[in-house]
Each structure stands twice: as C-alpha cells, then as structure tokens.
Amino acid sequence: MIEVDESTLIRCAICGAVNMDKGKKNICRRCHSSIKDKHFSTQKSWAYLITGMIAYIPANMYPILISTQFGQTEGSTILGGVIFLWEHGSYPIAMVIFFASIIIPVLKFLILIYLLISVKYPLGKDKKVTKHKLYYMTEVIGPWSMIDVFVVAVLSALIHLSMVSIVAGTAVTAFAISVFFTLLSAHAFDARLIKENC
Amino acid sequence: MKLENEDALDNYIICHQCLTLHEEIAIADGSHACCTGCGGVLYRYNTQRIDHGLALSITGLIFFALANFFPLVQIEVLGTEQFITISKTIFTLFESGFYLVGLICAFLIFIFPLMIFLINLCVFALLKAQKGKKITKELLVLLAYITPWSMTDIFLVSILVALVKLIGYAQIHIGVAFWALLVFVLIDVYLVKRIQIFEIWMLHKRIFAHKDEV
C-alpha cells in the first residue's frame, strides 16, 4: 500500500493517464512521453505569444489579397476587405472574416496574457472554473483564425484568368505565422498552473 | 488516498478541461460520464467502438481519396472555366512564392488528416486483431501529437466563404470532391474530434490485460 496525496496527481497531456508528480523530470508511466515542466512552460508560452503578437502587426499592415483587374492592380488589407464586403452588403461574410481574423486572434492574445499573468500574480483568485473554461475555449476556437489564410489560398488558386487574377499578399505569411505561434503558445501553457494558483 | 501500487492509478481520471480528479466507474453501454466540476464529457463507453472506428476510418479514407482526385469547385468567368482541387490550392501557393504558407497548408489540410485516418485505421485493426501492443502504443502517442493540427473542417468553411465572396462575379458549380470533403469532415468530427485518445487507451488496456491473463 502506498499513500498518495491527491493534489500532487498530474495528467499526461499525451495519453491522459494519471501520474504521480515526482519532482523535476516526469515520465508518463503509460506512454513514456515526458510530462511538461510547469515552470518552464510559462516562459515558453510567453515567448510564443510575443512572437505571434509581433507577426500580427505586419499581418494587418500589408495587403492580404492583391487583385489585378484589366491591368489595374489593387491590394486590400484584412480590415479593408471586411469594410469592402460590409459596404457591398455581404454582411454575414464580413462578420465571419471579421470574427476569424480580428476578434478571435485579439481575444486569444488577451486571454493568454490574462492567464499567464494570473498564474504568476494574484489576479481573479476565485474564478478557477472560468479560467479553465477560458483556456479550453482558446484551444477550441483558436484554429478557426486560419479561415482567412485558406480563403486567400482558395481564391488565388481559383481566380487565375488572363484578365482577372487574385494573388496572395505578404500579409498571408505573417498571418499564418501569427496563428501558428498563438496555437503553440496555447499548447505550451500548462492548465495545472491555474489550479495551483487559486 | 491509499493505493495498492502505482498501476492502480489507472482507475482514476483527471478531467481534460478543468483537471478535477475522478474515480473511473463502470457505465452503461452507449452512455457517457460527465465531470462534476465543469460538466464536460469525461469518457464514453461503447462495446462497438472498435468496429465503428475501423469501419469509419476506411470510409473516411475512401472519401478523402475522392476529395483529392476530383475538382472541388468550378467557376465560369467571362466565358473561361477554372476549377480547383486540394493539391492545386497548395501548389498555387508554392508557385506564387509563398513557400511557408504552402507548407503549413499542405500539412494542415492534407498530410495530417491523412495520417490521422491511417493511424486510426492501424490502431483499430490492431486492437481488433488483439496484436501489436507496443506499436499501438507508439501510434497512439503520435496520434496525440498531430490531432490538434488537422484542419479540414476549417478548410471546408473557408471554401464556402470564398465562394460566397465570388457570388455575382462568376458562375459557380460545386464539384464531387466538395461533397466528398463534406462527408470526410463529418466523419472526422465524429471519429477524431469527439472520441478522446484517452478512451482508446482504455480499450488498449482492457484488451491487452485480458489477453495477458489468457
């Protein structure tokens, strides 16, 4: 018989097995993958998040779509595209693009910043369940910001005529990098820290 | 909390959403257990899981092949026709110099979904045959790493968004591959996004523990 303290039990992120916390290096007893170190994970999460936020700036400055119509070249940024769609009456699509490329990334930055600060400093101590929900939400809705990148990819593959053509702009790369790094940041964040700091 | 040995921890489960500790209990066939903390689903129990999994992964692979070989959508502008396939979408990005985005897209909408279904097929086939304890373990670990990175469902919605943008400028014909992709996404949501890998580990343990006894 062994005595186990319930609060020291940890979950393997890969296979979901319950493990005992044995100090610095934890190896899952079922799938033998290493369980991430909770103190190192915050730093990694910050690093990825800051990279994502920096990449988000050029993603909004440079044109994401460059359309050529009868010799006239015109570039449109993410926000410019949304405004164009809104003015032309495509409200649902304008809303989808607005949500996927502006609301979701910004919301993700804010939620991750809030979570990362709150595990270090006493902030919203009594809102444990809300924080877990927030974290889970960022993981679920996060990938949906890729919509804009895919839309650009589809449009540029589809509109390839002699008179009219659409080419992807610089912002696509920046935006894809931004989304990729925020996803990494959310994965690197350890939800265990929410529990411990409440 | 007192335990016999470390392996007795297998009878416990930690909620993946809010990390509350629960003791695993036997539940009726076809039902699921919920977390007391956040209400999320902890695990499901279904005696037909392996058969369903096997059948659905094969179906998924067939539809994925269809989705790749036929055109997704076809448009008509000013008398000229254009169509796209999944591979053409990716190659256009490469051709116009967006290597990084092209690579990311190739992984997210082609390589990872294909790998996930192949791994699922292998895992369920091995579990069905009750063979290959080690290789199943490694496949399940790999599966856990790539599952969050499959985005065919998002790609499907993106195609729709792109098409709605084109309404009024071009005549749009939806191709066979689009419907195949739709079915593939539905199977993907049912098989991969809904079933947690933890449940396959439970099956793995039950089957091989039973086999070791015999």
Do residues A112 and A119 make contact, with C-beta atoms less than 8 angstroms apart? no
- CA distance to A91, A134, A170, per residue, from A96 (Å): 9, 21, 22
The answer to whether A151 contacts B161, with C-beta atoms less than 8 Å apart, is yes
A50 to chain B, closest Cα gap in Å: 20
Write down the pLDDT at residue B139. Answer: 92
CATH number of A38-196: 1.20.140
Using pLDDT thresholds of 50, 70 and 90, give the confidence band for residue B168.
Answer: confident
Residues of B in contact with A194 (CB under 8 A): 19
Q: What is the dihedral of CA B185, B191, B195, B199, to 10 degrees?
A: -150
pLDDT tens column, A90-148 = 888 888 888 888 999 999 999 999 888 888 777 666 677 788 888 888 888 888 988 98
Residues of B numbered 150-189 whose beta carbons fall under 8 angstroms of chain A's beta carbons: which are they?
151, 154-155, 157-159, 161-162, 164-166
Those residues with Cβ within 8 angstroms of residue B24's Cβ, 6 or more apart along the chain or in another chain: B10, B11, B12, B13, B33, B43
Q: Quote the CA–CA distance of B152 and B175 in Å, as a whole number.
A: 17
Residues of B in contact with A165 (CB under 8 A): none
pLDDT at B37 over 90: no
The continuous run of DSSP H or E covering A57 comes out as: helix A38-61
Using pLDDT thresholds of 50, 70 and 90, give the confidence band for residue B214.
Answer: low
Q: Quote the CA–CA distance of A165 and A136 in Å, as a whole number.
A: 40
Q: Which residue of B has its CA nearest to A7?
A: B21
Write down the pLDDT at residue B75. Answer: 87
Using pLDDT thresholds of 50, 70 and 90, give the confidence band for residue B21.
Answer: confident
Region at B173 (left for phi over 0; alpha for psi -120 to 50; beta for the rest):
beta
Do residues A137 and B148 make contact, with C-beta atoms less than 8 angstroms apart? no
Find which of A158, A167, A180, A185 to mutate to test the B interface (most B CBs within 10 Å of its CB): A158
Write down the pLDDT at residue B183. Answer: 95
Cβ-nearest to B157 among A129, A147, A164: A147
Q: Quote the CA–CA distance of A178 and A102 in Å, as a whole number.
A: 12
Higher pLDDT, B64 or A3: B64
Write down the pLDDT at residue A158. Answer: 86
The answer to whether B21 contacts A9, with C-beta atoms less than 8 Å apart, is yes
Write down the pLDDT at residue A126. Answer: 66
- Give pLDDT < 70 ranges for chain A: 38-39, 123-126, 197-198
Residues of B in contact with A154 (CB under 8 A): 84, 89, 158-159, 162
The continuous run of DSSP H or E covering B34 comes out as: strand B32-34
pLDDT at B199 over 70: yes
Domain ranges of chain B: 1-45, 49-213
A42 to chain B, closest Cα gap in Å: 18
Q: How many CB pairs under 8 A join A and B?
A: 180
Residues B15-38, mean pLDDT to the nearest whole number: 83
pLDDT at B121 over 90: yes
The answer to whether A133 contacts B38, with C-beta atoms less than 8 Å apart, is yes
What value of ipTM does the predicted structure carry?
0.88
Is the CB of B16 inside 8 Å of chain A's CB atoms? yes
Residues of A in contact with B5 (CB under 8 A): 2
Those residues with Cβ within 8 angstroms of residue A136's Cβ, 6 or more apart along the chain or in another chain: B17, B40
pLDDT tens column, B128-157 = 998 888 899 899 999 988 988 889 999 999
A12 to chain B, closest Cα gap in Å: 9
The answer to whether A167 contacts B101, with C-beta atoms less than 8 Å apart, is no
Do residues A152 and B37 make contact, with C-beta atoms less than 8 angstroms apart? no
Burial, A24: exposed, middle or buried (Cβ in 10 Å; 0-12, 13-18, 19+)? exposed
The continuous run of DSSP H or E covering B49 comes out as: helix B49-69
A138 alpha carbon, distance to own chain's centre:
7
